[in-house]
Amino acid sequence: MTIDDLVAKVTDPYERPARLYPALLGLLPLVVLVMVLYGPKATALTAAVTVAVSCGGLYMTTNLSRELGKRLEERLFREWGGKPTTQLLRHRDNTIEGVTKCRYHAFLANKINVPFPNKDQEASNPAAADEVYQSGVRWLLNHTRPEDNKKFDLIFKENVAYGFRRNALGVKPFRLP
């Protein structure tokens, strides 16, 4: 990894707020404690922090933050009975009214070239229905992540906020009380 790769990771509009900030928030109490306890020896501490950052510490921190957030996310999805987007597309979920849900199904079915299950098909084979719903959501995700992040700016901002909250919750067990 070059210094350019590290700078790109830390200055990326998604990486920094969604991955680095939660990790740094988790480390903040420890850093404050070390500074309070070892403040007079700050030169050694400063040197150690500089070396750690220079040797990929921030990159490692962002990846660790993401990994912990993803692990938590997987566990939560299992506890909740699936991804929230999949749950919303299920006929048995009433969060979205039927007419709108039918419109969403028709739109996504057209995009993935697979018919969405009706209520009876979903009830008889929920796992197969979830696969279709997840495929539709994956298509939507892939088509709302443009390179410039301008066309779907609100979705990008919500993804950053979601990544921040997920990763901050993921690093929570490792912070000081």
* Same domain (yes/no): 11, 71: yes
Residues in CB range of 98: below 8 A, 6 or more apart: none
* Same domain (yes/no): 74, 89: no
10 lies in some domain: yes
* Residue 120 buriedness (CB in 10 A; 0-12 / 13-18 / 19+): exposed
* Same domain (yes/no): 74, 158: yes
* Same domain (yes/no): 112, 170: no
30 lies in some domain: yes
CB of 166 within 8 A of CB of 17? Answer: no
Helix or strand (DSSP H, E) at 106: helix 98-112
Looking at residue 56, its pLDDT comes to 63
147 lies in some domain: no
Looking at residue 151, its pLDDT comes to 80
Q: CA 47, 53, 58: angle at the middle one, nearest 5? A: 155
Tallying the residues shown for the chain, one arrives at 177
* Residue 88 buriedness (CB in 10 A; 0-12 / 13-18 / 19+): middle
* Same domain (yes/no): 29, 74: yes
Looking at residue 64, its pLDDT comes to 85
* Same domain (yes/no): 72, 157: yes
* Same domain (yes/no): 159, 76: yes
Looking at residue 126, its pLDDT comes to 96
Rounded distance between C-alpha atoms, residue 21 and residue 168, angstroms:
8
Looking at residue 120, its pLDDT comes to 96
* Same domain (yes/no): 12, 76: yes
72 lies in some domain: yes
CB of 1 within 8 A of CB of 56? Answer: yes
pLDDT digits (tens, 9 = 90+) for 52-84: 665 566 777 788 888 999 999 999 999 999 999
Looking at residue 23, its pLDDT comes to 73
166 lies in some domain: yes
* Same domain (yes/no): 100, 37: no
Structure token digits, residue 124: 């008889």
* Same domain (yes/no): 49, 130: no
* Same domain (yes/no): 75, 158: yes
* Same domain (yes/no): 13, 71: yes
pTM of the model: 0.69
Q: Is 97 left (phi over 0), alpha (psi -120 to 50) or beta?
A: beta
148 lies in some domain: no
Domain membership of residue 169 as a residue range = 3-80+153-174
pLDDT by position in tens, the chain (length 177): 566 665 666 667 777 677 777 777 777 677 667 666 666 666 766 766 665 665 566 777 788 888 999 999 999 999 999 999 999 999 999 999 999 999 999 999 999 999 999 999 999 999 999 999 999 999 998 888 766 667 888 888 888 889 889 988 998 887 766
> How many structural domains compose the chain?
2
Q: With H, G, I as helix, E, B as strand and everything else as coil, classify residue 33.
A: helix
Rounded distance between C-alpha atoms, residue 173 and residue 58, angstroms:
19
